[in-house]
Amino acid sequence: METTSTCPNCGHTVAVYRNPFPTTDIVVIRDEKVLLIKRRNPPPGWALPGGFIDYGESAEAAAARELGEETGLHANKLRLLGVYSEPGRDPRFHTLTVAYLAEAEGDLMPGDDASEAKWFPVDRLPEPIAFDHRQIITDALKVPH
């Protein structure tokens, strides 16, 4: 969707585009447990490690960076799971996420936007699960590990 606005510097009319915000999420499953973080910021709940893709950054690099920032773990063997773009998936604004499956190594330590990071049995996930992450986890469980 395009609208117009007046440039505050030069006074010309410029196009303003409203596009979804690109994000990434990473699913790490180990021993029938999935890694989740408890969100420090709204919206509340448990979520997959992930976040916004920075300008000039690939989705893969963003997924690995977010995993490290939020859990202290290092991602390896990233595999594309899918793209999730339902306009209402994030209550704040329209986002689309590129979701990955990965393996991870290192010492689990929550950080950045995560107040906690824990492994949960895939058949006993906590409540609430933020965004559409329950669906992403369900889809990840269908993929051979």
Q: Which of 97, 94, 90 lies closest to 131 in space, CA to CA?
A: 90
Judge whether 70 counts as a catalytic residue: no
The structure tokens listed for 91 are: 């209550």
More confident residue, 18 or 106: 106
What's the average model confidence in pLDDT over 21-35?
97
CATH superfamily of 20-141: Nucleoside Triphosphate Pyrophosphohydrolase (3.90.79.10)
What confidence tens digit (pLDDT) does each residue in 66-104 have? 999 999 999 999 999 999 999 999 999 999 999 999 999
CA distance 102 to 59: 13
Q: Where are the domains of the chain?
A: 20-141
Distance between CA atoms of residues 4 and 10, nearest Å: 14
Between 4 and 62, residue with greater pLDDT: 62
- Find the DSSP H helices in 45-114: 59-71
Q: Tens of pLDDT along 107-127?
A: 999 988 899 999 999 999 999
Q: Is the pLDDT of residue 1 over 70?
A: no
Find the mean pLDDT for residues 124-137: 97
Catalytic: which of 32, 60, 105, 116? Answer: 116
